[in-house]
Every structure is written in C-alpha cells, then in structure tokens.
Structure 1
C-alpha cells in the first residue's frame, strides 16, 4: 500500500504538463490508514482536470470464503466512509468493483446515488443482509453492465435501469428466480452461472426471463452439476424470438448433448450457438459433494433428431471441452446438417485447471482426447464431413445435402415431386442450369428443359415458407431458335427474378445466357436477333440488372449504343464474359465498360474469329485500371499474340493474365466462310508496345492451347516473364480435345496429334527455352 500510495502521488502530481489521464484504474484495500492519502491525491487531480474518469476496485485482504459477517460489515463501513470523505471521487467512477461487503439498504442506495457516472458495477460476495431483497430503482442511472457474484440476496429487483444492457449473475442462494425485471428496455445480454444447491429444485426459463423483451445473447452455465432449467413445453419460445447468441456451458461430461437441440429450434434468429462440457478430474462426486449440491441429473429428454420443418440460420458453432468421441461427432453433424448457412465450427480443448493437473500427475493413464496435431485435426474434419447411412437420413437432412448437388441429380433421386416445398427453405446459394436437365443421349429438347427451369423457379420463389434470403442466385439458360417462345421464357424469368429481388428473397444474381444450337450454326442475322431479344429482356428487368454481379453473353451482335446502355444498367457488375458477342462494326472497351465501376474480372472470347475490339489510346487505361483478372480466349492460331500485351500494359492492377489459342481444324471449311467475315487482326499492332512498362502486380500467367513449336507462343511467355517482377507461376495447358477436329486430316498446326510436352525431357527443354537468361524463380507448370 505504501508503494501504491507513493506511485499514485508521483503520477498525479507531475508538474508542468498539459496532458491528462483519460481513465485512472485503481485497485486497493480501503484500510482507514491509507484512504485519506489516496483519496486526496486523486480528488486533487480530478479538480485540476488531470483525471477525467476513474475505475475503482476495492477488495479485501482476506479471500471471499474467509470473510465472516463482521469482516463484511467492517469493509462496508470503510467504503461508505471513503465515499463520504471524497464525494467528487465517487462522482467520477465509470467502473466500480466492490468485494466482501455487507451494507445496509440505506448505504447501498447512497453509494448508487453518489456514483453518478458508473457504467459498470460488479458486486462480489456483497449483500444488504442474509437473504435480503435488493431493489434498484435508478431512472437517471447510466449503468450499462451489472454483475453479481456469490451475493446472498434472496431477490434482486431491477425496477428501473433504462441503460442496462448486460447482466451477469454467478451463484445465487434463492429457491425462486434470482431477479425480477421491471423497466430494463436495453437489456440484451444475460448470463446465469450457478451450480444448484441440494435445496434448489430448478427454474423454468419463462420464470427466469419474465419481464425481458429484447434478449439477444443468453448464457446458461450449470458448472458441472444438474441441469437446473426445467422443461415447460414451448412456453419459453417467446423469449427466444430475438435471440442471436446462445451459450450452454458447464454441461457435465456424464450428460448427452442432443437435448440442447430443443433450444436451437426455439430460437429462429440464432446465429451463434455454443456448448461447453464440464470435464474436471478434480471434481469428485462423493457423499460430501452431494450434501452441498443436488444429484446430477438432466430433466430434459434426449432428442435424437431435429424438427424437419425448421431451418437454422446458424453461422457459428462453438464447442468447448471437445473430445473425439462418436457422440460428440454425431452431435456436431446433426447441427451441421440443419444449418445451411453455417460458416465456422470452433472446437476448443477443455479449460486448464491446476487441480486437474495434479490428479493427472498421479494418474498417468488419463488421456486428453482433444486433437493434438495436424493429423488428428484432419481426421476430425473428415469425420465431420462424412455423410454416411444416406438412406436412413430423414427428409430434412436429405434436403440440406441436396443443396450441394446439381439439379439433374436432384431429379434423378425423384425427390422433387414430394419434397420440393421444403428444399427452398434450406438454400442460401442456388444454382439453376438448364443444361443439367438434359442428360446425355436424352431426347429432351431445349424447349422442354426451359419449361422445367421456369417451373422450378416458380416453386422456389413462390414458397411462403422461405425463411432465409438467397444470397446468390446463379442462372444459366438459353435463347431458343423459336424467337416467340424464347421471348416468352425470357419474360417469365424476368418477372420471377425481379419479384424475388423486390421482395428481398434474392440479394445478388449471376446470369449465363447461351444459345440452343452450336455457335457455327448461327448466321450474322441470327446473332442480331439474339441481341434484340437480350435488350428486350434487360429492358423489363431493372431490379435484376441492379443486383447483377456476373454476366456471360454468347453469340449476339449488338449496336454500339445498345451494348453501351446495357453495361450502364448493370451498375453492380463484377464479372463480365463476352463470347462471340460483339457490336456490328467492332467496339471500344471503354464503351463496353463505361458505367461498370465494380468489374474486376474480364474475359473476352473471340472463338477463333476476328478480334472484335478496336484499339484506343490512353482511354483504355481508365477502362482497365480496376481489372485484376484478364483473360483473352479464342485467339485464332494464325494471329500474333504480342498484341495482347497492349491490353496488359493498360491494366496496372492485373494479377492473373490468361490467353487461350483457338486451333480447330474443323472450322476451316467453306461453311465457316459463309457464316463469318474474314479473320482479321490488322488493327492491333504489337510494335506500339512500350518496352519500359512492367506488369508490376502480375503473379500468374495462364496459357491455353500451348504449342512449343510455335515461336509466337514462346515469345509471348518470355516477354511476360521479363516484364513481370512479381510473377510466380506460368501455367501451360494443352489444346482442348475436339471430336470434329479428329475427323479432319490437315489442321493448320497439328491438333489431332498434340505437340504438348509429355515427358520430363520435353518439359525441361521448354523450361530452358522460356527461362534462358532469367534468374528469377518462376515456376513453369504443365497441365
């Protein structure tokens, strides 16, 4: 105490400084000998403006269990005397921690009255007499956090505490509920921790929480003894309506955990759920223990499965005292199967305990079953992911699994006819691809597949039971040759998706719009009609356009103003793929990307035809400055490739750059020349490259259709390696297989017989060619 007093005087009496202490934290035993000195230092500092707020803890020299009634009365007297002597000090408290004190009711109310600024109050082993009632009616109080530990009140009546948001109570002696709640409109965080005494029969949650209206976080801790919360049907459900976090701690290791599922089903808004097992070797269950505590028992019936009609919004599951036993694994898997939004599972070892460590030292055979290394952790992950006994799963768990498979598989399981109404309730990410409805060698037409797609979407968005938002809806559908039917389906899709967006059922949309037939089967006139259909579709789909984040367009020929307007309407677009989609006389990328400030992935696929983007000056830098992934695909095999670096130079943020060569012997015949214009790329001139520009952010180069005998391929890769100081890897891929090409005898460059490096020697030779004279560690990967 002498040292504390000296240090306090030095800190608070430092002359010649304008600095002040925002918060002064003090912890000391308030003996009469030193109180006046410390109080004087602090009060003077407060009056001089050197201290703005004070946090005060007043413990005793004795431990709580060693303090008798006389000790508590004396300590309370010292505290009250201290407050009388220094009222300005007590008026600055923001946190007050009182220990081992027995006040009179008048003294307790005086203390709360003179502490005008307290936001946090903690009472440990404090009371106003054995089994007394504490009434707190402080309408002007700023108190937001109130904690009671080992206090011997029969009841604490919170009559009026308008700012109180957090209440913690550990160990109470009353038979009935320890609190009654009056005006506590901000109370949202409750924690009750206690081991039930031999005379305490238990409480109902509706009794414990009676009077609360907005509880968002609830912790129940049984401290390894009996479960003192009593079943009462669904009477407590009302108090769980707004519950966001629920923690059930101190569950004896003897008890099964599946009974806790009942609380999950009662909390429709729950996002975080935690259980903690009480596993203490030092906790001996003998006659002496049972004289103090009730018999360890759990009045809740075990629940083997969850209500299939309910869907959890759970995002986080926390498990303290986890052990790799079958029961613990099955408990977690049961919850996972019903929580499609689950993002994380946190597994924690049991709490450390010195007394348990002493027992462990004497009993070496006792083993900790928490995973100790990466191998054991991986084993647990695998067991949690395994979904065995598939045929025995109830409907609701099966539906949760079905969200991970494609719709064709769902159809093959024959579940849609009987269970489709439940499926939408469980899914937060939904993928509908019309191609999945047409199985290989199927006689189903694209028209029939589109009709099925519309029907499924109607069921999905028309579900009145839907409880969660579809955060991402991915749609892949096709334009039909019959334009009248095609427009009918387009307008159906537009109406369904827009209504779902407007009603909050869908947050973001991804679209891939393809064609019914192969690209080579369409004329230029067909492509113009496709573009017209797409413009009509987007023209009536404003709500859809506003939340469109990814767009794939194929086989459409736009006018420049139309394409420009289309891009502007999709102001949230992040990923754009244009395959065989162009304006009627080529277009500038600045026009294409105007109004799409969020796009960071750009894929341009020319599908072996002319390069339909036109060169431009410095404006290109503005259009591409946010692009981080740039892919140029379908570049005709006869074209030079160095021109692609003009785009790379204009995109300073690109981290991944990819090119893919189009080498198809099957499209060299007369049919191609009848459908498409002459292949040309005479506008882009590689001579305009600025050799002083480096690709400072580039980390990966991907090259599809690589052929080591084509000089242009080697030149492009070397140029990128030389100008990309952060480049880590170059991925080389073979040409894609094509059945039509295999029937052609004379490809321009061999495509039926791949020239891609096959063995170690061939790969080493290519690596040597690409990295000659380059010392940087760039990895060359052959795929």
Structure 2
C-alpha cells in the first residue's frame, strides 16, 4: 500500500518481462490473464511458446485414462477453440513463435481444424518449432484391436492429406497406435521436410513389417513397441539420438546405414529363454556413440559380453556414459566389465538392479508357458588380470545390497578404475503400485557403512569416496533417461 492506494507492481513491469512470465504458464492459464485489461490482452498475443494440450482441459481430479467419449469430444473441441482463439489474436509477422505445440485426440474433424489453424499460423508468422502430438485415447497396447489400429491410421492419413502446409512446417511429430499402409510413413517423412523429432509408439505397417527411414534433418528418432521385424536407418545425416524399444527379432533387427552424427542410443527389450544374445559390436556396427542405455525389464540379459575386438572398440571408442537399467536381481554383474575394457574414455557407469514386479510376469505357470528364462544372468569372468581403466570417475548403483555379488563387483571396479573418484551406492527402488515389499540388506546405519567400506576396500588401494543414503536428483534424472528430449517441457507420456 502507498498513501492508501494499491500498487500493482506486476503490471508495472515492462512488456518483455511479463511475456516471459506468461510463457512459463500453460496456454489455458495464460489466456485467463487477458481479462485483466486491454494491455494483458495484447500481451497474450505476444507469447512465444504456445503449448496447447488436451491434458490442460481435463476436469480437476480426472485422469486421461478415465474420461468418457463425450468428455473426450468436449476436451478436443476446447483445444480447437483455444488454438483458433490464440492464433487469430496475433498480428501477422509481428512476433516470432518459438514453439507451437498441440496435443489432441484423433477424433472426428478436430485434427483437421487444428491442422488448418496451425497451417494458417505458419503462413502468417515465423514459427521456429511446431509439434503435433496425436493421441488415440488408448493407453495399453492390449486395448487396441487390429481394426482399431487400421481405422486410426486411416483417420490420421485423412488429417495428413487435408493439412499439407501444417505438416510441411512441423519439426516434431509424436504418433501412437497406428497401422499404416505400406508407403504412408515414407510419404509423411517426405512431406515433413523440416522434421527433427519423430516418435512412433505402437506404429507399423502390418505384422513383421520393415521400417525404412531417410530424412535430411531428422535428429531424434524414437521407436517404441512397434511390431517391426526390421528397422533400416538408411540415410539420416543429422541423426544424433535413437531410442529403440521392444523389437521382435533377435536376428538382425536393426540396419544402420549413413548416420555419421549418432551419439546417443537407448535400447530396451525383454528377452525370452530361446532368444539369442545380441553382440553390440554387430548391432551398433558403423557407429561411435557417446551415451548408451541398455534396459532389460528385469528379465534375461540379452547382451553377449565380448572380447575387445577392433569392431567393438570402434563402436565404444567415444563412449562417455553408460546406463544399465533394470538388471535382474541376484546375478553376477562381472559381465559388465567388458564394457570398461572396450571403452577407454568412459566417465560414468550407472546401473539399476531391480526385479520390478509391476512390469514382470510373476505367475510361474505363465512364465513357463511363455518361455521366460529361469536363469536370467550371464557369466563372464574373463577380465584381464592387469586391466586398468584411467577415465572412469563415477560409479552409481541403484538397488545395492550387502550381498557378495555386489561387493565382489564393486571391488573389481575399484581395482580396475585407478582414477575412480566417487561410488554412489543407493538402496533398492520402491514403487507405490507394487503389492509385495521386499526387505533388502542395505547398510543403513553408520556402523554398517563402516563395515561395508572395509569389505569393499580390504587389500585395495583406492581414493574413491563412498556415498550412501538419499538419492541425488541428478542421478535419478540420468537413471530415468527420458526417451527423446522434446522441444517443450518434459512431459510424461501419460498424465
């Protein structure tokens, strides 16, 4: 208060500062400020980040998995209205749109209405980045019958054919639950000339189909749970990041052609007892990656340890960071040492040991019927006795316990990694949905940790510092390893 009058300090700020503040809100909240005054109405027309998502229009307390068809139609209509309202307020060519992102359901003519509005915006304004996230309203692969996949793909192609200007300006496309025609994906890539980020979830062209990818500007490609027999990265001169999760064949499922800039690779799969193990020297042949994630879904290790051959050394020669996720519990970890031997520049090694019951088949009869492996580990005890690694600085283990398999492994790393600086030993991960809670043997007390350090370092000369207790946010973020870095805020796939 000043002399009995209210002072509006927020409105006293210059326009560029207020626009920066509004850019940090979702569009629905930012639009509400337009009722404050004529000035605030004009500010909304200057926003540089327009993220319009169906998730922002859900009723309070309602999850996207619980909405009815009527509610879905209403939410989609609200997205159309918001898109039209926000884009028509802007003066043509006056302010650059740094990001124009829309997330909507593939229903009726709504996508076409949004696509045309976005196409008009691209014609009238400079749009640096544009994204479509197209949802089908199904959240489990088992919910989608083949006819549903085909119908959804046809609806998407109608949308695509009706809005060529919008797709021509897209930089990010996120698709799910679509069974395309044979040439549909190729046509989409040809039209989306500016595309940099492509994510396909449960998309294919029929059972055991082949996906061939060629694009001049694509830098991030994510292929998740797609029923593909083979993926061919034929010509992708700008590709830097690839996520490949859930392939069908263990015999030659990936062909890597011209991808000279590929440096971040994430591979996730569930191996059954009859699946052959993967040789990374062959799987990633022709690449020289810096950042590698391998995830095993708490089941059989599907990677075959290798001697450091010239081919493997070529693949790993630039490797700086490795994340081994959801390794099965109770098995020897020595096999991972082969990565150290083949990657002389490796700086950080992360691993998560966790039998996550929510994601596993726990019924013994079903495990036998579906050929889950009884022995999920892999043996490898061929580490050179005099092997030394001079670059590894950080070792992080989630799910550490006072068991011999962990203690022996950490001791091996301490001996080999002569410049190791920090060892972070965290307790097992917890999941709120898991019914069974396991009591692990973790050194919780100071006395237990002193005893553990003696077990780990007896007879070994190492200057590494041991860390226990609360997980550091930076470590958890690296362990989770988001699929592909999106242009907008890091959203979970599902709310």
Q: TM-score, normalised by structure 1?
A: 0.46
Corresponding position of 1:329: 407
Aligned pair in 2 of structure 1 residues 145, 349: CA closer, same or farther (>3 Å)? farther
Q: Deviations over 1:256-287 (max 9, x none)?
A: 21221122122111111111112224542512
Q: Does the residue aligned with 1:260 lie in a helix, a strand or coil?
A: helix
Aligned pair in 2 of structure 1 residues 57, 204: CA closer, same or farther (>3 Å)? same
Corresponding position of 2:304: 230
Q: Does 1:384 align with 2:453?
A: yes
Contact 1:217–1:243 under 8 Å retained in 2: yes
Q: Does 1:79 align with 2:79?
A: no
Contact 2:338–2:383 under 8 Å retained in 1: no
Corresponding position of 1:185: 260
Q: Does the residue aligned with 1:345 lie in a helix, a strand or coil?
A: strand
Contact 1:198–1:292 under 8 Å retained in 2: no
Q: Does the residue aligned with 2:204 lie in a helix, a strand or coil?
A: coil
Aligned length: 384
Q: Does the residue aligned with 2:299 lie in a helix, a strand or coil?
A: coil
Deviation at 1:121, TM superposition (A): 0.7
Aligned pair in 2 of structure 1 residues 233, 300: CA closer, same or farther (>3 Å)? farther
Q: Does the residue aligned with 1:307 lie in a helix, a strand or coil?
A: coil
- Return the alpha-carbon distance in structure 2 between the equivalents of residues 370 and 389 of structure 1: 19
The equivalences for 1:514-553 within 5 A come to none
- Return the alpha-carbon distance in structure 2 between the equivalents of residues 66 and 204 of structure 1: 34
Q: Does 1:55 align with 2:124?
A: no
Corresponding position of 1:95: 172
Aligned pair in 2 of structure 1 residues 345, 26: CA closer, same or farther (>3 Å)? farther
- Return the alpha-carbon distance in structure 1 between the equivalents of residues 318 and 214 of structure 2: 26
Q: Deviations over 1:585-638 (max 9, x none)?
A: xxxxxxxxxxxxxxxxxxxxxxxxxxxxxxxxxxxxxxxxxxxxxxxxxxxxxx
- Return the alpha-carbon distance in structure 2 between the equivalents of residues 15 and 299 of structure 1: 59
Aligned CA-pair RMSD: 2.7
Contact 1:172–1:194 under 8 Å retained in 2: yes
Contact 1:118–1:142 under 8 Å retained in 2: yes
Q: Deviations over 1:709-731 (max 9, x none)?
A: xxxxxxxxxxxxxxxxxxxxxxx
Deviation at 1:297, TM superposition (A): 2.8
Corresponding position of 1:210: 285
Q: Deviations over 1:486-527 (max 9, x none)?
A: xxxxxxxxxxxxxxxxxxxxxxxxxxxxxxxxxxxxxxxxxx
**Deviates further, 295-304 or 269-278:** 295-304
- Return the alpha-carbon distance in structure 2 between the equivalents of residues 15 and 187 of structure 1: 39
- Return the alpha-carbon distance in structure 2 between the equivalents of residues 173 and 84 of structure 1: 31
The equivalences for 1:633-782 within 5 A come to none
The higher-RCO structure (CA 8 Å, 6+ apart) is 2
- Return the alpha-carbon distance in structure 2 between the equivalents of residues 15 and 238 of structure 1: 52
Q: Deviations over 1:762-783 (max 9, x none)?
A: xxxxxxxxxxxxxxxxxxxxxx
- Return the alpha-carbon distance in structure 1 between the equivalents of residues 174 and 192 of structure 2: 12
5+ unaligned residues in a row in structure 1: which ranges? 361-365, 391-396, 405-783
Contact 1:332–1:384 under 8 Å retained in 2: no
Deviation at 1:159, TM superposition (A): 1.1
Corresponding position of 1:367: 439
Q: Does the residue aligned with 1:125 lie in a helix, a strand or coil?
A: strand
Q: Between Structure 1 and Structure 2, whose CA radius of gyration is higher?
A: 1
- Return the alpha-carbon distance in structure 1 between the equivalents of residues 319 and 247 of structure 2: 24
Q: Does the residue aligned with 2:179 lie in a helix, a strand or coil?
A: coil
Deviation at 1:72, TM superposition (A): 1.1
Q: Deviations over 1:686-723 (max 9, x none)?
A: xxxxxxxxxxxxxxxxxxxxxxxxxxxxxxxxxxxxxx
Corresponding position of 1:530: none
5+ unaligned residues in a row in structure 2: which ranges? 1-75, 466-495
- Return the alpha-carbon distance in structure 1 between the equivalents of residues 426 and 157 of structure 2: 44
Deviation at 1:68, TM superposition (A): 1.6
Corresponding position of 2:365: 287
Corresponding position of 2:42: none
- Return the alpha-carbon distance in structure 2 between the equivalents of residues 178 and 46 of structure 1: 38
Corresponding position of 2:109: 33
Q: Does the residue aligned with 2:433 lie in a helix, a strand or coil?
A: helix
- Return the alpha-carbon distance in structure 1 between the equivalents of residues 333 and 226 of structure 2: 30
